[in-house]
Chain A
Amino acid sequence: MIHAGGIDLANRMKRGAVPEHVVTLGQIPDLCGIQEIGGRIEIGAATRHWEIENDPMLRCRLPMVAGYIAGLGNIRIRMQGTIGGNIMAGEPGYEMLPLLAVLGADLVFADWSTGGQEITAAREWVLPRASSSKTLLLTSIRIPLRPITVAWNRELRPALGLVASLEWSGDRVLHGAAAVIGDHRGPMVREHHFTEALPAADAAPRAANIAEVWADKFPDIDVLVGPDRDYCRHVLSVMLRRVLHTMLKT
Chain B
Amino acid sequence: MTTRDRLTIRLTVNGEAHTVEISSNLMLVDLVRERLNLQGTRVACDQGACGACTVLVDGRPITACLSFAFTADGAAVLTIEGVAGSDNTLDTVQLAFHDSGVPQCGFCTPGMVLLAKAYYMQQPMPEGADVERWLDANICRCSGYQVFRRALHSTPPREDAP
Contacts and interface: CB of A to CB of B under 8 A. Distances in A.
A11 B61 CA distance: 18
Interface stretch (A35-43, A69-77, A116-124, A232-240): A69-77
Contacts of A26: 71
A153 interface: no
Interface in B67-90: 67-68, 70-71
A12 to B, nearest CB: 11
B93 interface: no
DSSP class of B's interface residues: helix, strand, loop or mixed? mixed
Contact of B51 (A6, A11, A50, A76): A76
B67 A10 contact: yes
A13 B25 contact: yes
A26 B133 CA distance: 26
B115 interface: yes
B62 A24 contact: no
Contacts, number: 55
Contacts of B68: 3, 6, 10
Given A11-B47, A11-B48, A14-B47, A74 B66 contact: no
A13 B65 CA distance: 12
A242 B129 CA distance: 23
Given A6-B68, A6-B71, A26-B71, A79 B47 contact: no
Contact of A75 (B46, B47, B66, B133): B133
B142 interface: no
Contacts of B47: 11, 14
A6 B68 CA distance: 7
A7 interface: yes
Which among A14, A26, A76 has the highest number of chain B CB atoms within 10 Å?
A76
Interface residues of A, number: 18
B97 to A, nearest CB: 18
Which among B46, B63, B134, B138 has the highest number of chain A CB atoms within 10 Å?
B63
B62 A76 contact: yes
Contacts of B133: 70, 75
Which among B27, B46, B137 has the highest number of chain A CB atoms within 10 Å?
B137
Contacts of B115: 75-76
Contacts of B71: 6, 24, 26
Nearest to A18: B25
Contact of B66 (A10, A22, A50, A70): A10
A139 interface: no
Interface in A69-104: 70, 74-77, 79-80
Contacts of B51: 74, 76
A80 B63 contact: yes
Nearest to B55: A76
Contacts of B138: 74, 76
B54 interface: yes
Contact of B62 (A11, A14, A22, A80): A80
A74 B63 CA distance: 11
10 contacts: A10-B65, A10-B67, A11-B66, A70-B133, A74-B137, A74-B138, A75-B133, A76-B63, A76-B115, A79-B61
Interface of B: 24-25, 27, 46-48, 51, 54, 60-63, 65-68, 70-71, 115, 133-134, 136-138
Interface of A: 3, 6-7, 10-11, 13-14, 22, 24, 26, 50, 70, 74-77, 79-80
Given A22-B24, A76-B138, 5 more contacts: A3-B68, A74-B51, A75-B61, A75-B134, A76-B115
